[in-house]
Each structure stands twice: as C-alpha cells, then as structure tokens.
C-alpha cells in the first residue's frame, strides 16, 4: 500500500490544477472547449489521487498485471499527442486566417492610398 502522504500531495497538485483552470475560465482566458478538456483532466487526476486502488483496478480491466502505472503513462502520452495534433490544426487555421487578413488589409490600404492620390491629382490640375 502506498503511503498516505503521497495521496495528500497528489490530491493537492490535482486541486491546484483544477483551481488554475477555474480561475482561467473565470477571467475568460480559456475558451469553453479547452476549459472542458482541462476540467475533465483535473477531475481525472483528482479522482486517481484520492482513489488509491483506482489505477490498479483500471489496469486490471485492461489486463495489465505487472506494472499498473504504465496504463496511466500510456493514457497521458496519448492524450498529450492528440492535444498537440489538435493545436497544430488550430495553429494552421489561425495562420491561414492571419495571412488572409494581412493580404486584405494591405490591398485595402493600397486602394485607399491610390484613391486619395487620384483625388489630390484631380483637385490640383496642371
């Protein structure tokens, strides 16, 4: 059996993560969809911290008998990978939109500038 101390530390860390997420949502620094991901992550961590036998139980379901924490590491790794892929997608979309915005702004600027120059030229003949 793992010492009681570990449970306290792990729970504390999970609680802090949940607190940070809550604060970020409160200040509207996180969009809802990300907020949801991180709230769920925090809750899962907290549950695993409090429910000491949980990890072993879950590992048992999956047929892992030798080293139960490996299930946890595998899950975390997968989660992080999927999240990174998601961020790459978001980043690609944002930079495409950014490019389009920059192009439109620059073309608009040129148009305005040339109209002004044309107007000036028309007003001062000769």
Partner 1 sequence: MMTEPEHSDLALPPEITRMRRLAIMPAYNEEGSIGAVIDEIRAFDPNIEIVVVDDGSADRTSKIARSRGVHVVTLPFNLGIGAAMQTGFRFARANDFDLAVQIDADGQHDPSELPAVLAPLLAGEADFVVGSRFTGDPAFRSSFTRRLGIHLFAVVVSAIAHQRLTDTTSGFRAVNRRGIALFAADYPHDYPEVETTVMVIKHRLRVKEVPVRMRERAAGRSSITALRSVYYIFKVLLALFVDLFRPSDAPAEDA
Measured from the CB atom, the residue of 29 and 119 that comes closer to partner 1 is 119
| Cα–Cα distance for residue pair 60/45, rounded to 1 Å | 19
**Which residues, in sequence order, are CB contacts of 95 under 8 Å at separation 6+?**
none
| Cα–Cα distance for residue pair 104/98, rounded to 1 Å | 10
Using CB under 8 A, pick the residue from 29, 106, 112, 119 that binds partner 1: 106
Minimum gap (Å) between residue 88 Cβ and partner 1? 15
Q: Does residue number 99 form part of the binding site for partner 1 (CB under 8 A)? A: yes
Q: Does residue number 57 form part of the binding site for partner 1 (CB under 8 A)? A: no
**Which residues, in sequence order, are CB contacts of 62 under 8 Å at separation 6+?**
71
Q: Which residues bind to partner 1, rule: CB under 8 A?
A: 99, 102-103, 105-107, 109-111, 114, 117-118, 121
């Amino acid at each position: 059996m793992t010492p009681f101390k570990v449970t306290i530390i792990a729970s504390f860390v999970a609680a802090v993560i949940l607190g940070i997420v809550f604060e970020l949502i409160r200040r509207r620094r996180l969009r809802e969809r990300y907020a949801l991901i991180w709230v769920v992550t925090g809750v899962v961590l907290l549950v695993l911290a409090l429910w000491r036998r949980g990890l072993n139980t879950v590992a048992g379901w999956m047929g892992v008998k030798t080293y139960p924490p490996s299930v946890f590491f595998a899950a975390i790794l997968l989660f992080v990978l999927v999240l990174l892929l998601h961020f790459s997608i978001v980043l690609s979309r944002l930079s495409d939109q950014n490019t389009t915005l920059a192009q439109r702004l620059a073309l608009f600027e040129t148009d305005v500038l040339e109209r002004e120059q044309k107007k000036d030229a028309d007003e001062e003949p000769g």
